[in-house]
């Protein structure tokens, strides 16, 4: 970074919400032509910092310099006109508008008073192709994959002549090959002098793409280092203030009896001919690209969208699962991928979230026994070490990792014999992630049969006894832990199925 001065420079930034100090004296500089990673556990203050750079929040103290001159970013519009753009984890497009309309929404090229459609599509095409994408700009955003939608957001940012591009966990819902594509574009942008702020929980990605890394912990600035000078362990230590002994604590357990047999399971037009077995105490990893049908298989097993063909046997007996209640009666629990949409009722207290599937247990006479409910919730919260002020705290006030632990508490409360988890550590911090892994391992050793769907290869390889690969709605292979490698799994996922 030999440039004369940083594009954006934040100095001594502090911000409090109510009585909570979210940021304290944070220092952050972004130079043109660098990818600057921002690292920290959930709740460390990354989002607040981003919101200050993009003008959503104003700092209580400290100074923002743009091209060396102090500025006040009073609202997002001002940040945008200062050439600062951001793209987030979840793309934010209008689903029923096409790519070009999304790129130019609100500022379509005009001819007189009328929109110059030809010009708009020409410009959009140019932009999209400059990113190396092969997409028709008249495609509706609805039919794009998450990765493609992100590319459109990047195109929109570029069309605004953004000089600073903030990417907040852009890779969390992308598959490996999509991440690779994204990184190609990021490198291209770097060459053209764009400054990129990159946030990710995946340390590997930081080593792949970032030039420098700034770490925050508890809202306090820890350090800024050249990526070339740090090791993985350094980063983890900077983030959590201690070293993690082992990321994947899977113990070997003796698998018990077969509890689940799935034969030729099919779901209308999404997956078909899925067969596998699951034993007590076993962790079965399911790996596949997003959209391959993994989540749908899990949803069929839990009765949310019942399977349309095939058979499911639990403990050797054929069963019919037509609703979540059926699945729960059979001892199946399901931790869904999207904890805010499906996993939790954010506006309700932790206790009520945890007891929702087992409310009948607390009925005494006509009404609910709230003391019993509280104490059950309290026990589970303590067992999973959820950081909370109490079980009557609202779920939305927790950090991502703690929210996920509440979802897990909820399902442990049902005493499941089969637990299905869809992306159980998506978007949660390293510390919580490791705790979730330890918990899964412990549950397996207690004899619970676990199905874990994940897009993260290290997690799949580190945690699973067996790995099932799903490809285009069908089985793409099955591997024992010993024989599975990253290369084999990637190969199984990406080869085209023989006809």
Binding site for other proteins (CB under 8 A): 17-22, 41-44, 74-75, 217-219, 240-241, 302, 304, 323-325, 327-328, 334, 336, 341-349, 352, 356-357, 359-360, 363, 366-368, 387-390, 392-394, 397-399, 402, 410, 429, 431-432
Residue number with CB closer to other proteins (347 or 486): 347
Residue number with CB closer to other proteins (42 or 172): 42
402 and 388 Cβ atoms separated by less than 8 Å: yes
CB atoms within 10 A of CB 227: 17
| Strand 35-39 with 258-267, pairing | unpaired
**At its nearest, how many Å lie between other proteins and the CB of residue 367?**
4
The closest of 194, 236, 186, 233 to 215, measured between CA atoms, is: 236
**Which class for 447: exposed (0-12), middle (13-18), buried (19 or more C-beta within 10 A)?**
middle
**At its nearest, how many Å lie between other proteins and the CB of residue 343?**
6
Residue number with CB closer to other proteins (270 or 368): 368
**At its nearest, how many Å lie between other proteins and the CB of residue 345?**
4
DSSP-derived secondary structure letter, 359: G
Residue number with CB closer to other proteins (13 or 195): 13
Residue number with CB closer to other proteins (18 or 498): 18
Helix (H, G, I), strand (E, B) or coil at 344: coil
**At its nearest, how many Å lie between other proteins and the CB of residue 231?**
22
The closest of 195, 222, 274, 232 to 36, measured between CA atoms, is: 195
Q: How many CA atoms lie within 13 A of 349 on its CB side?
A: 14
CA distances (Å), origin 187, targets 93, 136, 167, 210, 472: 24, 23, 13, 10, 30
**At its nearest, how many Å lie between other proteins and the CB of residue 56?**
11
Q: What is the DSSP string of 153-217?
A: HHHHHHHTT-SEEEEESTTTT--HHHHHHHHHHHHHHHHTT-EEEEE-S-HHHHHHH-SEEEEEE
**At its nearest, how many Å lie between other proteins and the CB of residue 126?**
35
**At its nearest, how many Å lie between other proteins and the CB of residue 224?**
19
Q: Which residues, in sequence order, are CB contacts of 108 under 8 Å at separation 6+?
A: 101, 115, 116, 120
Distance CA(277)–CA(18), nearest Å, equals 52
Q: Which residues, in sequence order, are CB contacts of 223 under 8 Å at separation 6+?
A: 214, 215, 238
Residue number with CB closer to other proteins (345 or 480): 345
**At its nearest, how many Å lie between other proteins and the CB of residue 348?**
6
**At its nearest, how many Å lie between other proteins and the CB of residue 38?**
15
Residue number with CB closer to other proteins (150 or 403): 403
Q: Going edge to edge, which strands form the sheet with 418-422? A: 332-335, 418-422, 449-453, 283-288, 466-471, 474-480
Distance CA(192)–CA(164), nearest Å, equals 12
**At its nearest, how many Å lie between other proteins and the CB of residue 197?**
20
Residue number with CB closer to other proteins (189 or 451): 451
Residue number with CB closer to other proteins (338 or 472): 338
Distance CA(426)–CA(165), nearest Å, equals 23
CA angle 252, 258, 263 (to 5 degrees): 125
Residue number with CB closer to other proteins (6 or 59): 59
CA distances (Å), origin 139, targets 134, 136, 158, 177: 11, 6, 19, 22
CB atoms within 10 A of CB 112: 6
**At its nearest, how many Å lie between other proteins and the CB of residue 130?**
35
**At its nearest, how many Å lie between other proteins and the CB of residue 63?**
18
**At its nearest, how many Å lie between other proteins and the CB of residue 324?**
5
Residue number with CB closer to other proteins (285 or 401): 401
Distance CA(208)–CA(35), nearest Å, equals 11
Residue number with CB closer to other proteins (186 or 332): 332
Residue number with CB closer to other proteins (55 or 281): 55
Name the token pair of 222.
């820890």
| Strand 35-39 with 212-217, pairing | parallel
């Amino acid at each position: 970074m030999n440039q004369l001065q940083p594009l954006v420079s934040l100095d001594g930034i502090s911000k409090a919400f109510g009585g909570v100090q979210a940021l304290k004296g944070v220092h952050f500089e972004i130079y043109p032509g660098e990818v600057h990673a921002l690292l920290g556990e959930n709740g460390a203050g990354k989002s607040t910092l981003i919101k200050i750079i993009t003008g959503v929040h104003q700092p209580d103290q400290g100074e923002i310099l743009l091209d060396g001159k102090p500025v006040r970013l009073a609202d997002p519009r001002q940040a945008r006109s200062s050439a600062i753009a951001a793209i987030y984890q979840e793309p934010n497009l209008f689903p029923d508008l096409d790519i070009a309309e999304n790129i130019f929404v609100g500022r379509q090229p005009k001819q007189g008073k009328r929109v110059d459609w030809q010009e708009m599509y020409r410009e959009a095409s140019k932009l999209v192709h400059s990113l190396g994408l092969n997409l028709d700009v008249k495609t509706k955003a609805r039919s794009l994959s998450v990765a493609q939608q992100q590319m459109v957001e990047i195109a929109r940012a570029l069309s605004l002549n953004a000089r600073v591009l903030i990417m907040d966990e852009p890779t969390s819902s992308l598959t490996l090959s999509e991440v690779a594509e994204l990184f190609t574009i990021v490198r291209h942008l770097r060459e053209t002098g764009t400054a990129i702020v990159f946030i990710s929980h995946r340390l590997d990605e930081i080593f792949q793409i970032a030039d420098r890394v700034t770490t925050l912990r508890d809202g306090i600035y820890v350090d800024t280092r050249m990526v070339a000078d740090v090791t993985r362990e350094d980063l983890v230590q900077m983030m959590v203030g201690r070293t993690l002994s082992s990321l994947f604590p899977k113990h070997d357990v003796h698998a018990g009896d077969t509890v689940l047999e799935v034969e030729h399971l099919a779901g209308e037009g999404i997956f078909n001919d899925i067969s596998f077995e699951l034993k007590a105490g076993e962790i079965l990893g399911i790996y596949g690209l997003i959209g391959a049908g993994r989540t749908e298989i899990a949803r069929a097993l839990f009765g949310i969208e019942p399977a349309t063909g095939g058979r499911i046997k639990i403990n050797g007996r054929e069963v019919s699962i037509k609703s979540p209640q059926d699945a729960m009666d059979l001892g199946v629990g399901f931790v869904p991928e999207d904890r805010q949409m499906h996993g939790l009722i954010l506006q309700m207290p932790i206790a009520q979230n945890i007891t929702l599937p087992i409310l009948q247990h607390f009925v005494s006479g006509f009404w609910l026994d709230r003391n019993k409910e509280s104490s059950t919730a309290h026990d589970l919260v303590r067992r999973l070490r959820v950081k909370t002020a109490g079980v009557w705290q609202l779920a939305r006030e927790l950090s991502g990792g703690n929210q996920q632990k509440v979802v897990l508490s909820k399902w442990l409360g049902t005493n499941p014999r089969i637990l299905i988890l869809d992306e159980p550590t998506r978007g949660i911090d390293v510390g919580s992630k490791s705790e979730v892994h330890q918990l899964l391992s412990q549950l397996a050793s207690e004899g619970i049969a676990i199905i874990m769907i994940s897009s993260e290869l290290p997690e799949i390889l580190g945690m699973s006894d067996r790995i099932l690969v799903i490809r285009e709605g069908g089985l793409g292979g099955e591997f024992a832990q010993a024989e599975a490698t990253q290369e084999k799994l990637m190969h199984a996922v990406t080869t085209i199925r023989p006809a």
